[in-house]
Amino acid sequence: MIATEDGVVRALKLLSSGKPIFIHDSSSREDEVDMVYHAGFIDFRKIALLRRLAGGLICFSMPKNIGEALGLRYMSDILRDVGYTELTGRTLRYGDPPNFSLWVNHRNALTGIRDTDRALTIRELDNIVKLVVDGRVGEARRKFINEFVAPGHVPILLGRGLRVRKGHTELSLALAELAGMRPSMVITEVLDEGGAMPVSKVKELASKLGTVVIEGDEIIREWEKRMNS
């Protein structure tokens, strides 16, 4: 199933029912596709699917403002504070600053890397986002400090918003906003041997899974239309 004119609508329905979708950012940016789930639906089977079919880094995404409510900072800022300015002063060729914050495990994980462990960590991070969205920020901060270990195996990404950055983090969080879902997403790059999987090949994979490949520009247009309405 390939995204058409109603691709965003179909993507929102799929996400809302716990299905994966695929997002291609832009041929002028990373030119990569990410496999995306809403974090509220994550279980160990979905982590295994991300690992086998996508193969990139399995990341948890939340907006910057929610991260700041929890006391989180960008890892680049933390590293600058401890003297790694030269390393953090460079960006990769696509030009955007990285969204990485802390890498964490839930304290009840065994090793942190297993499918069950990463699913547990992501589900509990999603619960923390829910607390913040519900206005229970103090409870969310206590839960985060008491129940998580860093460094760990799940990287937290803090989305900067589509007005600032148009990467997979921001695109996936914009879809959550459009769907009326809490901003809590899981994204993983789809890799092929030696590089990123071509969009044409990802479309074949999406068809087998009964889902869509959506272009970043489609998400941006729909988000801007709704924000301006």
pLDDT tens-place string over residues 83-116: 999 999 888 878 788 999 999 999 999 999 999 9
Name the catalytic one among 24, 32, 59, 218. 59
Query: In which domain, by residue range, is 123 found?
Result: 7-227
Q: Are 149 and 60 in contact (CB under 8 A)?
A: no
Provide the mean pLDDT of the chain: 94
pLDDT above 90 covers what percent of the chain? 88
Check residue 168 and give its pLDDT. Answer: 96
Domain membership of residue 2 (yes or no) is no
Between the CA of residue 173 and those of 2, 27, 39, 118, 137, what are the distances in Å? 21, 20, 11, 20, 20
Helix (H, G, I), strand (E, B) or coil at 24: strand
Is residue 86 annotated as part of the catalytic site, yes or no?
Answer: no
Residue in 34, 126, 170, 215 annotated catalytic: 34
Concerning whether 105 is annotated as a catalytic residue, the answer is: yes
59 is catalytic: yes
Span 15-41, average pLDDT: 95
Residues in CB range of 153: below 8 A, 6 or more apart: 103, 105, 109, 112, 113, 117, 118, 121
Measured CA to CA, the distance from residue 78 to residue 82 in angstroms comes to: 7
Asked if the structure places residue 1 within a domain, the reply is no
According to the model, what pLDDT value does residue 87 have?
Answer: 92
Average pLDDT over residues 125-147: 98
Residue 2 has pLDDT above 80, yes or no: no
Number of structural domains in the chain: 1
89 vs 23: which has the higher pLDDT? 23
37 is catalytic: no
> What is the CATH number for 159?
3.90.870.10
